[in-house]
């Protein structure tokens, strides 16, 4: 049974861009495609659009389900739908698969126009700024001059923040959830281990594994296992798995023994079976690079000087990947620039993953904020 | 220049045990060897001996240097020597390479007596209890009925604790530094990712890589990189590396860019060049398995009921691998058993690695405690 307030059947659409796109790195794509979905109805003056940006492993299928695959509900379906915090009776919501992704948008596994083979290693390293630029082109195509809101969690939250810096006049509200103004050395270190797992997998072939008919499964699996440790909280792991043994006794070998091992290996295997390793590399690099303060002498206050949006910043008490302290850095910089900021630290045991979870307080804060946004919008 | 209070030239010794050794797993070694070093002089009644147990990557070369390799000072030389906190003018100090190690004691890379090839995967999984048992045999051989103290940091601290449980009458003082009464689910998770990096390296060959003339360097390197993240504190990484770029600008590729990446990869490469992957696996498994409370219905108070020693328990403020909270669990269990316990949480920015560092407060606490121990000993 699908809940009555599910958006219901949705379908993916495809936008084709034939104007060359220049990345921050200087690399150029002569054409690219973005896969996206929309929910709700765009109003007459096109003022009720909300852009949802995805995180590391996300994509365009944010809410609802496909007619031919009813069990595959969107990754943020608990948040978005009729009567939900992001109310599709009021808002026109857009989800897309980012440039460089592996869910239909142009990425490393796409066929490069002239080479007649997948881009592989030749696909440009993409930054949060690049994504925002490419998303703005999608907005242009849809005739949306200004978003009512841009929102996202984690890496998605960074894109939402960047929107208000790259296009201050094109976004009225930014909802930045469980994110940070930049990665710490420790954050980068985890990403670097994950990347090295992929880069040193003999099946990686310098990124051109498609041509060899193999996939760097081992590396991608390790990367995901490691990622999962940082998505959960120590307490959540202790509560869920503790030191429980699968068979009740020690095996004195290297098979799965503890429940936590079973969970991690399962998550790693599942992910490695469908996600593209090159996309994983790109995503981690975009995370590492995001740092709006860098161009302003590491002064985050200065970085936000151009911002014109209002902000909702949310963090989760047990998130140690991007802790509440990191969100407060963002809030402080915004306050120094006299922006309207709402901030809440949500109590949750689920660590960084909390932003994807059903949580009454979290969803109420989102609902209340977006009800205010909806009042500014002529339906 | 070697500091004047360095123990000076030392040399390794070898103990051969021809009595079969039965592991907790039920596996048996018909013979084994332990490499060890001693510093200072054993007194007439053999009451001034201190056993130093090593952690994951440690070994028997704890202090001093070799005549033919003067730059290779022991890993705990700042702690042990004449006039140092562990004063070799007063104590007879023993360091050994644990069974299963790769620094000279019998381990997976040793030739198995009957097979005429390295043990490889056939080397038994070893537990902290096994190590203590094998160390007790070394003590027997040296004629030491009771240690003045058994000490160690991290996994070494776990062995020190186990000594007071396995042989309550054979140890007067336990110095357990930066350790925990058992690993959390998160601790095990990190170990499992490290193990999987090794186990899935195509050069691992099920643990019998010696016969193939290869080494699972990629996996071992990843394991060490990951380990290093957990040895340092977030703050220490931020202070030391921050977001500094090696070349001062972004490269838009997967070469080393951030200083933290350079550090991690260097540490990984260095370690993978000398350490044995099978030993690494064994060490992580011994960590996962250590849990004296398990046999007592997860009641740590009961687990320490047999203990007779006095204890010094030390933790470090920024250690997130084995946080001060974990040390306090040990202290509480000891207090419930009316043991004499001294406890200190040392302020340090170096995370788990603090136990190896020069730190005035830390060394003063050690010195003061051991001066008391020395007074009990007839020189």
Q: What is the pLDDT of residues B258-279, one digit of tens each?
A: 999 999 999 999 999 999 999 9
pLDDT at A3: 52
For residue B51 the two structure tokens come to 């056993």
Measured over all CA atoms, what is the biggest interatomic distance in chain A, rounded to whole angstroms? 67
Residue B379's pLDDT band (boundaries 50, 70, 90)? low
pLDDT at B3: 52
Rounded to 10 degrees, what is the CA torsion of B157, B163, B169, B174? 0
Q: What is the CA radius of gyration of chain A?
A: 21
Partner-chain contact B258 A199, CB within 8 Å: no
Q: Quick check: A2 pLDDT over 60?
A: no
Query: What does the mean pLDDT of chain B come to?
Result: 96
Q: Quick check: B211 pLDDT over 90?
A: yes
Give the whole-angstrom CA distance, residue A275 versus residue A219.
Answer: 12
Interface of B with A in 157-186 (CB under 8 A): 182-186
Give the whole-angstrom CA distance, residue B50 versus residue B87.
Answer: 10
Partner-chain contact B238 A124, CB within 8 Å: no
pLDDT digits (tens, 9 = 90+) for A257-316: 999 999 999 999 999 999 999 999 999 999 999 999 999 999 999 999 999 999 999 999
Interface residue of B254, B255, B303 to substitute, partner A, most A CBs within 10 Å: B254
Partner-chain contact B281 A254, CB within 8 Å: yes
pLDDT at B309: 98
Pairing mode of beta strands A13-17, A32-39:
antiparallel
Q: Which of B47, B61, B352, B353 is catalytic?
A: B352
Q: Which of A44, A5, A54 is nearest to A177 (CA)?
A: A54
Q: Quick check: B5 pLDDT over 90?
A: no
**Nearest residue of B to residue A239, measured between CA atoms:** B185
What is this structure's pTM? Answer: 0.96
Q: Looking at the partner chain, which of B225, B234, B252 has a beta carbon nearest the beta carbon of A196?
A: B225
Q: From residue A171, how far is each of A54, A132, A155, A163, A315 by CA, in Å?
A: 17, 12, 18, 7, 21
Chain A residues close to B185, C-beta within 8 Å = 234, 237-238, 240-243, 258-260
Give the whole-angstrom CA distance, residue A166 versus residue A223.
Answer: 31
Partner-chain contact A252 B27, CB within 8 Å: yes
Q: From residue A146, how far is each of A171, A309, A362, B183, B356 by CA, in Å?
A: 5, 11, 26, 51, 57
Percent of chain A with pLDDT over 90: 96
Chain A residues close to B198, C-beta within 8 Å = none
Partner-chain contact B186 A225, CB within 8 Å: no
Give the whole-angstrom CA distance, residue B99 versus residue B180.
Answer: 22
Residue A213's pLDDT band (boundaries 50, 70, 90)? very high
Q: Quick check: B173 pLDDT over 90?
A: yes
Q: Which of B321, B296, B318 is nearest to B183 (CA)?
A: B321
Q: Quick check: A46 pLDDT over 90?
A: yes
pLDDT digits (tens, 9 = 90+) for A64-80: 999 999 999 999 999 99
Does B205 reach chain A within 8 Å, measured CB to CB?
no
pLDDT digits (tens, 9 = 90+) for A164-180: 999 999 999 999 999 99
pLDDT digits (tens, 9 = 90+) for A191-208: 999 999 999 999 999 999
Q: Which residues of A are part of the catalytic machinery?
A: 154, 319, 352
Size of interface A-B (CB pairs under 8 A): 150
pLDDT at B191: 98
Q: Which of B150, B53, B163, B151 is nearest to B98 (CA)?
A: B53
- What is B337-366 written as a DSSP string? TT--EEEEEE--SSGGGGGGS--HHHHHHH
Q: Which of B291, B310, B319, B353 is catalytic?
A: B319
Q: Looking at the partner chain, which of A184, A193, A243 has a beta carbon nearest the beta carbon of B222?
A: A193
pLDDT at B339: 98
Region class of A297: left (phi > 0), else alpha (psi between -120 and 50), else beta: left
Q: How many CB atoms lie under 10 A from the CB of residue B365? A: 20
Residue B2's pLDDT band (boundaries 50, 70, 90)? very low
Residue A379's pLDDT band (boundaries 50, 70, 90)? low
Partner-chain contact A258 B188, CB within 8 Å: yes
pLDDT at B248: 87
Give the whole-angstrom CA distance, residue A132 versus residue A52.
Answer: 11
The residue-averaged pLDDT of A341-367 equals: 97
pLDDT at B4: 65
The residue-averaged pLDDT of A228-247 equals: 93
Chain A residues close to B186, C-beta within 8 Å = 229, 232, 234, 237-238, 260
The residue-averaged pLDDT of A352-360 equals: 97
Give how far the C-alpha of residue A146 lies from the chain's centroid of Cα atoms, to the nearest Å: 21
Chain B residues close to A185, C-beta within 8 Å = 234, 237-238, 240-243, 258-260
Q: What is the CA radius of gyration of chain B?
A: 21
pLDDT at A5: 84
Does B358 reach chain A within 8 Å, measured CB to CB?
no
The residue-averaged pLDDT of B230-248 equals: 93
Q: Could you report the predicted ipTM of this complex, rounded to two decimals?
A: 0.94
**Nearest residue of A to residue B239, measured between CA atoms:** A185
Residue A114's pLDDT band (boundaries 50, 70, 90)? confident
Query: What does the mean pLDDT of chain A come to?
Result: 96
Rounded to 10 degrees, what is the CA torsion of A161, A162, A165, A168? -70
Q: How many CB atoms lie under 10 A from the CB of residue B273? A: 11
Interface residue of A28, A130, A189 to substitute, partner B, most B CBs within 10 Å: A189
Partner-chain contact A184 B237, CB within 8 Å: yes
Does A291 reach chain B within 8 Å, measured CB to CB?
yes
Q: Is B182 a catalytic residue?
A: no
Partner-chain contact A192 B264, CB within 8 Å: yes
The residue-averaged pLDDT of A360-373 equals: 98
pLDDT digits (tens, 9 = 90+) for B302-349: 999 999 999 999 999 999 999 999 999 999 999 999 999 999 999 999
pLDDT at B114: 85
Chain A residues close to B318, C-beta within 8 Å = none
B134: Cβ–Cβ under 8 A, 6 or more apart, which residues?
Answer: B17, B21, B32, B34, B98, B99
Give the whole-angstrom CA distance, residue B184 versus residue A235.
Answer: 9
């Amino acid at each position: 049974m699908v809940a009555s307030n599910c958006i219901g059947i949705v379908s993916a659409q495809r936008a084709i861009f034939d104007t060359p796109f220049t990345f921050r790195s200087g690399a150029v794509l002569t054409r690219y495609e973005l896969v996206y979905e929309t929910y709700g109805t765009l109003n007459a003056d096109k003022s009720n659009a909300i852009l949802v940006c995805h995180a590391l492993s996300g994509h365009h299928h944010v809410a609802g389900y496909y007619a031919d695959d009813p069990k595959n509900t969107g990754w943020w379906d608990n948040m978005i739908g009729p009567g939900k915090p992001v109310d599709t009776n009021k808002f026109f919501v857009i989800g897309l698969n980012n440039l460089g992704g592996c869910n239909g948008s142009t990425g490393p596994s796409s066929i490069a126009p002239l080479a007649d083979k997948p881009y592989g290693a030749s696909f440009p390293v993409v930054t949060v700024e690049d994504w925002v630029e490419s998303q703005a082109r999608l907005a242009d195509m849809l005739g949306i001059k200004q978003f009512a809101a841009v929102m996202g969690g984690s890496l998605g939250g960074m894109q939402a923040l960047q929107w208000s810096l790259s296009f201050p006049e094109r976004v009225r509200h930014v909802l930045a959830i469980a994110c940070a103004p930049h990665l710490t050395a420790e954050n980068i270190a985890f990403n670097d281990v994950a990347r090295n797992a992929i880069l040193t997998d003999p099946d990686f072939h310098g990124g051109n594994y498609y041509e060899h008919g193999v996939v760097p499964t081992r590396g991608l699996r390790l990367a995901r296992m490691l990622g999962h440790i940082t998505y959960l909280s120590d307490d959540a792991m202790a509560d869920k798995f503790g030191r429980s043994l699968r068979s009740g006794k020690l095996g004195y070998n290297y098979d799965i023994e503890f429940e936590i091992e079973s969970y991690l290996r399962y998550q790693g295997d599942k992910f490695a079976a469908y996600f593209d390793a090159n996309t994983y590399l790109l995503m981690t690099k975009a995370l590492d690079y995001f740092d709006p303060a860098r161009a302003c002498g590491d002064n985050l206050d200065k970085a936000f000087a151009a911002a014109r949006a209002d902000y909702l910043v949310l963090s989760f008490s047990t998130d140690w990947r991007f802790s509440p302290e990191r969100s407060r850095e963002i809030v402080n910089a915004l306050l120094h620039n006299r922006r309207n900021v709402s901030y809440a630290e949500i109590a949750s045991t689920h660590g960084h993953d909390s932003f994807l979870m059903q949580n009454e307080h979290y969803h109420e804060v989102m609902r209340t904020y977006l009800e205010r946004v909806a009042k500014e919008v002529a339906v």
